[in-house]
Amino acid sequence: MEKINHIRLSEDDNALIILDQTQLPNREEYLELKTPEEMYRAIKRLEVRGAPAIGIFAGLAMYVLARGFSHLPYPDFRAKFNETADYLNSSRPTAVNLSWALRRVKRVVDDSSALSPADILPLLKNEAQAILEEDVAMCRAISEHGLSLLKDGDGVLTHCNAGPIATSRYGTGLGPLILGAERGMYLRAYSDETRPLLQGARLTSWELMRAGVDVTLICDNMASAVMKEGLVQFCFVGCDRVAANGDTANKIGTSGVAILAKHYGIPFYVLGPSSTIDLSAKTGEDIKIELRDPDEIRSLWYAEPMAPEGVKCYNPAFDVTDHSLITGIITEKGIVTPPYTHNLAAIFE
């Protein structure tokens, strides 16, 4: 599959260039982002989205922004750096990769008090690029582990988008399908359209078609029928934050898919890099769920509103799938099975 350079530095390092995911699949447009406000907005509006991609974006964004105030003396530089990182971190609360990546670049600044800010810049660039390169390797390993479960002809149901544009390359939930296609395997994907922002319809089906995977788009409320008809043998989804006990926050609707999968006896796997595991969250109760604009339900995508004016809406962007519904959590280190509290902690030892 042709590789998309969806998050990259400009030639002069003064801007971040991203593929605008809100325009897909109709337009492949790139945005040039220079200010903290533009970068905050890009995360908030889902111009860049997907937990690992947001982390990669944040690391590179902080390098670009730090160039703009590297003339300051170290204490002021550090204060401005932390303030800007905290501002970006406030854009979306659920995916842990954002705060994880920002913590990594903050640490570079904290550990460099003996250097001038101008000399810290190359270190920040290295750290941001390391976050990106590590994600490439992690996605590749996750894809291999996931693919080891599949055989030719299998059907996999997925929810939201956990593909290359949500990460660095290959993706997590979609990685095994894309890697399998590269190796000439025949795999069938069923993509939930994923209301209200349609990541499954707009992004997953677009990415899988480009990768040569046989993909069928379904409405979210068709997942049960697809399972009952025996069309899928596995569910593979990504994750935004995995708590210490295995409870997993992912796109709204994921927990419903897991409940259906349990009913039909279909294995349900969560795929994500270890950077998405947050051992400081003991259970899903500790994960903050983002609430979004009701107009995403009422009127976005429609030529005219499809709900009465002023109707109340509840629009959580994510839900938490209980660990008891998860067959396994696939990270770059392998396939973790229950008991999660013990086995997730073990991968960090």
Catalytic residue ranges = 240
- Using only C-alpha atoms, the chain has a radius of gyration, in whole angstroms, of 20
Residue (245 or 275) nearer to ligand MRU, CB: 275
Is 19 a binding residue for ligand MRU by CB under 6 A? The answer is no
Residue (108 or 329) nearer to ligand MRU, CB: 329
- Quick note: the x/- pattern for ligand MRU over 301-320, rule CB under 6 A, is ----------------x---
- Quick note: the x/- pattern for ligand MRU over 245-284, rule CB under 6 A, is -----xx---------------------------------
Q: Name which position in 36, 52, 196, 284 contacts ligand MRU (CB under 6 A).
A: 52
Q: Name which position in 7, 15, 24, 46 contacts ligand MRU (CB under 6 A).
A: 46
Q: Which of these segments, 113-121, 129-137, 145-153, 165-173, binds ligand MRU (CB under 6 A)?
A: 165-173
Q: Name which position in 15, 65, 95, 326 contacts ligand MRU (CB under 6 A).
A: 95
Is 321 a binding residue for ligand MRU by CB under 6 A? The answer is no
Is 43 a binding residue for ligand MRU by CB under 6 A? The answer is no
Residues between 224 and 243 that touch ligand MRU (CB under 6 A): 238-240
Is 50 a binding residue for ligand MRU by CB under 6 A? The answer is yes
Q: Name which position in 6, 49, 104, 125 contacts ligand MRU (CB under 6 A).
A: 49
User: Binding-site residue total for ligand MRU (CB under 6 A)?
Assistant: 19
Is 162 a binding residue for ligand MRU by CB under 6 A? The answer is yes
CB burial readout 280-306, b (16+ within 10 A) else e: ebeebeebebbebebebbbeeeeeeee
User: What is the closest distance, in whole angstroms, from the C-beta atom of residue 120 to ligand MRU in the complex?
Assistant: 30
Alpha carbons 94 and 293: distance in angstroms, whole number: 16
Residues between 167 and 206 that touch ligand MRU (CB under 6 A): 167, 171-172, 199
Compute φ and ψ for 328, nearest 5 degrees.
-165, 155
Alpha carbons 39 and 60: distance in angstroms, whole number: 11
Type of residue found at 94: T
Residue (55 or 155) nearer to ligand MRU, CB: 55
Binding residues for ligand MRU (CB under 6 A): 46, 49-52, 95, 160, 162, 166-167, 171-172, 199, 238-240, 250-251, 317
